[in-house]
């Protein structure tokens, strides 16, 4: 392999397309100039179909965590109850954000690697009346589970008056999402996942109902106060100096998504998921999640008695420049995670499997060269 | 002129050096990888001399406003008193942040265009006993005033137990700063000013006393909670996904500052200030601030009976691609502001003056070609 070869297959950050890098290199402009408002006014509406919303999609200069803080601090008031579904490290993160504020926070714990059961959600809604907001992690990056947020949102709406806040950081742009139609009240994503950008931006949209609630209560922070963003959105601007170069990049990302077509983008992600799962199974390694719960953007792989996933991960990083992620929280040391989202093609999935085969061989594990690649190729020719 | 010619002379964002753009284009890496911690561990200590501190300088993914929110929410507790010196739009911004929280906020209003008088500060400290924190805007971007923070910090320390929080967004990296020696407790800057980067990062350091206070109280936000940054700093990481490409750029900025030498960087800024002021005076336009108060990074120019600064600014933008800033708040429509910081040379100052001369001529104002350039050149040959 080449000395500096690098295959970034973490579930975010993800690789940056060359044309996006090129776009980000455009000359810097003032954020209060008409140049900037022309750029912003061109880009911002193009984010709506990605979210599946007619509402403004606001652009924050922060990581996704900042936007999650914005989601809750604009829509939940002192003393109100928040029900957070915790099915992994990022559900836990969202709960921790809520717990920082004077809210009454209830955690609905779900086994890591599974989606939340309808009955469990119904029971929680029953037990905790007057819930002001229910929080879901759309794709739980730490487990590779895609929660069925359409169905879950419907259940919440049928059984309560709660707002539904959704962390879509590691899947929006890679999976079909209809925020308005499904009834999601706040939807958040980050730039460094399926959106093919470096980290540094987060995107957030509020339903009419969430906006109305936000206008009635005081935002509990200054930097993440929705009203400041709404006021400047009309001027094609952001209230505080935005990460201009990333917004140039975002414009090119919209071009790339348009060129491929959103439907095709989603199909490609679905295909990459199926190829990855087939390949991993052919290696004899267990998948953490079942087929139904699996996210099109990230796949978690369990170790076995023979295969230590941390050892494998560190080896392929060192020898082949293949970057994968490990486990978090209670899954630390027990899984590896393969990101297949954003600027990632079926070819990249085949490359990843090839290098995993070599890595397993190097470490003395039983492996038949080409076996996982074959399985993934078969999925490819059947479905592509 | 060329069709897309562009001279960005706003007081932030500022132009990006080619080598910094190049650095930001390096392949994306995971923020939990050893690649990233190697990068972060190399860069972070190099920020200390820029701040004049031995304390860690933390890297936030946000605009400067986010870091100002971090400064106060980590060091001031519920019900405590904050004294904010408001001498322009950014002092007002900092006061507004403080007013979002359950603090007892006192504003010390100073006429826009002036620095705070010692007697006024002393009187405020006398009137408001038990002030927990005093807030200064080091360079007030909206007026071009550089507050004498060394002297002001000394006064605060001699007359109270207050922490001193300093917004250094539009000058750190362009003016000599000794955070530790002067007794500053929290110092903040942004990436898009004298630090020669696109917007998207902010930098913040806390004195031992501020860190100790922060450890005793609960941070009032999650994303800006110092304890999370401190915990991950030891690992060469940040608690939330950082703007990786900007941190690559920050490394190259440190290289550029080292190559030139910080002392020379500061001298260059001082020289550009003097050249700009001499040139503007030669044009017959009044300066908003006096010599003593003027910042080396930005100069505010008043209009006259004849010269409408907004008209001039819009004209040179349109015809020559020269971007300047206008006035804010009570100075709206009354001034134009020339940024001369970061990736800006004395040559750029001469270019700016040349284009201003042409612009004044185009608009029918009396102007003698070369007069302001001559004045600035004379300053240059005397002092460079």
Chain A to chain B, count of Cβ pairs less than 8 Å apart? 168
How many angstroms separate the CA atoms of A176 and A190, rounded? 16
Q: What is the pLDDT of residue A129?
A: 87
Share of residues in chain B with pLDDT > 70 (%):
100
What is the dihedral angle through the alpha carbons of B154, B157, B160, B166, rounded to the nearest 10 degrees? Answer: 80
**Angle subtended by helix axes B371-383 and B262-282, to nearest 10:** 150
Predicted confidence band of residue A3 (pLDDT cuts 50, 70, 90): confident
pLDDT more than 90, % of chain B: 98
φ and ψ of A11, to 5 deg: -80, 55
Q: Which of A32, A221, A244, A342 to mutate to test the interface with B (most CBs of B within 10 A)?
A: A221
* Residue A100 assigned to a binding site: no
Task: Establish if B364 touches chain A: CB-CB under 8 angstroms.
Answer: no
d(CA B134, CA B127): 13
Distances (CA, A) of B284 to A311, B91, B143: 72, 30, 19
DSSP label at B160? -
Closest C-alpha among B318, B340, B351, B347 to residue B141: B340
A325/B61 Cβ within 8 A: no
| pTM for this predicted structure | 0.95
What is the reported pLDDT for B3? 81
- Is the Cα torsion angle A22, A25, A27, A32 positive or negative in sign? positive
**pLDDT-derived band at A1, boundaries 50, 70, 90:** confident
Beta-carbon count within 10 A of B161 CB? 11
pLDDT per position as a tens digit, B266-291: 999 999 999 999 999 999 999 999 99
Average pLDDT value over all residues in chain A: 97
- Contact present, A207 and A158 (Cβ < 8 Å): no
How does pLDDT run across B8-46, given as a tens digit for each residue?
999 999 999 999 999 999 999 999 999 999 999 999 999
Q: Does A100 touch chain B (CB under 8 A)?
A: yes
Residue B105 pairs in a beta bridge with B82
What is the pLDDT at residue B383? 87
CA distances from B228 to A112, B29, B58, B75, B222 (A): 24, 22, 11, 14, 9
Name the band, by pLDDT with cuts 50, 70 and 90, for residue A106: very high
The 10s digit of each residue's pLDDT in B305-321 is 999 999 999 999 999 99
pLDDT recorded at residue A4: 82
Which residues of B are less than 8 Å from A62 in CB distance?
61-62, 66, 223, 240
Residue range A350-380, pLDDT digits in tens: 999 999 999 999 999 989 999 999 999 999 9
pLDDT at position B101 over 80? yes
Mean pLDDT of B119-145: 97
Helical ranges in A146-305 per DSSP H: 149-159, 179-182, 208-216, 226-233, 244-260, 262-282
Supply the DSSP string of B177-226, one letter for each residue.
--HHHHT-SEEEEESSSTT-S-SS-EEEEE-HHHHHHHHHS--S-STT-H
A64 vs B contacts (CB less than 8 Å):
240-241
pLDDT of residue A136: 98
* Residue B91 near chain A (CB below 8 Å): no
Is residue B158 packed enough to be buried (19+ CB in 10 Å), middle (13-18) or exposed (0-12)? Answer: exposed
Predicted pLDDT of residue B8: 97
Residue A310: per-residue pLDDT: 98
B339 within 8 A of B348, measured Cβ to Cβ: no
The 10 Å CB-count burial string (b at 16+, else e) for A29-58 is bbbbbebbeebbeebbebbbbbbbbebbbb
CA distance B198 to B14: 8
Q: How many residues does chain A have?
A: 384
Distance to chain B for A55, nearest Cα, Å: 24
Q: Which residues of A touch B31 (CB under 8 A)?
A: 13, 199
d(CA A198, CA B23): 13
Cβ separation B27–A21 shorter than 8 A: no
pLDDT at A383 over 90: no
Write down the mean pLDDT value for chain B. Answer: 97
pLDDT in tens, A277-327: 999 999 999 999 999 999 999 999 999 999 999 999 999 999 999 999 999
Contact residues, chain B, for A69 at CB < 8 Å? 221-223
Q: What's the rounded mean pLDDT across residues A183-210? A: 98
Q: pLDDT at residue A232 above 80?
A: yes
pLDDT digits (tens, 9 = 90+) for A124-166: 999 998 999 999 999 999 999 999 999 999 999 999 999 999 9
Tens of pLDDT, residues B321-350: 999 999 999 999 999 999 999 999 999 999
Give the residue-averaged pLDDT of A199-208: 98
Kindly list the structural domains of chain B, giving each domain's residue range(s) and its CATH number in brackets, ordered by start: 7-13+261-382 (3.90.1150.10), 18-259 (3.40.640.10)
Q: Is B143 on the interface with A (CB under 8 A)?
A: no
Restricting to A residues 228-267, those with a Cβ less than 8 Å away from any Cβ of B are 240-246
Q: Residue B2: its pLDDT value, please?
A: 86
* pLDDT above 80 for B384: no
Per-residue pLDDT, B356: 98
Please report the pLDDT score of residue A130 as a whole number: 95
Q: Which residues of B are annotated as a binding site for substrate?
A: 337
pLDDT at B136 over 90: yes
Q: Could you tell me if the ipTM is greater than 0.90? A: yes
Q: What is the DSSP string of A272-333?
A: HHHHHHHHHHHTTPPBSS-GGGB-SSEEEEE--SS--HHHHHHHHHHHH-EE-EE--GGGTT
In a 13 Å sphere around the CA of B373, the CA atoms on its Cβ side amount to 15
């Amino acid at each position: 392999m080449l000395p500096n070869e690098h295959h970034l297959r973490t579930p975010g950050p993800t690789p940056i397309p060359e044309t996006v890098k090129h776009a980000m290199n455009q000359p810097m402009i003032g954020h209060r100039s008409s140049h900037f408002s022309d750029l912003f006014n061109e880009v911002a509406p193009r984010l709506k179909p990605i979210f599946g919303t007619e509402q403004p999609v606001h652009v924050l200069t922060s990581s996704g965590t900042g936007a999650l803080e914005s989601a809750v601090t604009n829509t939940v008031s002192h003393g109100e109850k928040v029900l957070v579904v915790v099915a992994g490290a990022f559900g836990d993160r969202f709960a921790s954000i809520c717990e920082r504020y004077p809210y009454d926070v209830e955690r609905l714990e779900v086994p890591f690697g599974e989606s939340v059961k309808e009955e469990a959600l119904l029971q929680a809604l029953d037990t905790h009346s007057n819930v002001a907001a229910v929080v879901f992690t759309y794709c739980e990056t730490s487990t590779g589970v895609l929660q069925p947020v359409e169905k879950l949102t419907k259940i919440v709406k049928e059984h309560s008056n709660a707002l539904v806040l959704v962390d879509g950081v590691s899947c929006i742009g890679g999976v079909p999402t209809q925020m308005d139609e499904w009834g999601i009240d706040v939807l958040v994503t980050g730039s460094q996942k399926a959106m093919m950008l470096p980290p540094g931006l987060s995107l957030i949209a509020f339903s009419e109902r969430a906006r109305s609630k936000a206008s009635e209560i005081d935002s509990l922070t200054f930097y993440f106060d929705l009203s400041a963003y709404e006021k400047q959105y009309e001027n094609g601007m952001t209230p505080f100096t935005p990460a201009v170069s990333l917004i140039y990049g975002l414009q090119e990302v919209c071009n790339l998504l348009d060129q491929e077509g959103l439907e095709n983008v989603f199909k490609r992600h679905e295909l990459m998921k199926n190829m990855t799962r087939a390949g991993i199974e052919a290696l004899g390694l267990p998948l953490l999640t079942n087929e139904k719960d699996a996210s099109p953007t990230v796949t978690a792989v369990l170790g076995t008695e023979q295969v230590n996933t941390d050892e494998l991960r560190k080896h392929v990083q060192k020898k082949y420049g293949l970057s994968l992620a490990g486990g978090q929280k209670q899954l630390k040391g027990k899984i590896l995670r393969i990101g297949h989202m954003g600027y990632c093609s079926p070819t990249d999935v085949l490359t990843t499997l090839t290098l995993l085969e070599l890595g397993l061989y190097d470490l003395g594990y039983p492996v038949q060269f080409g076996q996982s690649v074959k399985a993934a190729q078969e999925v490819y020719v059947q479905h592509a």
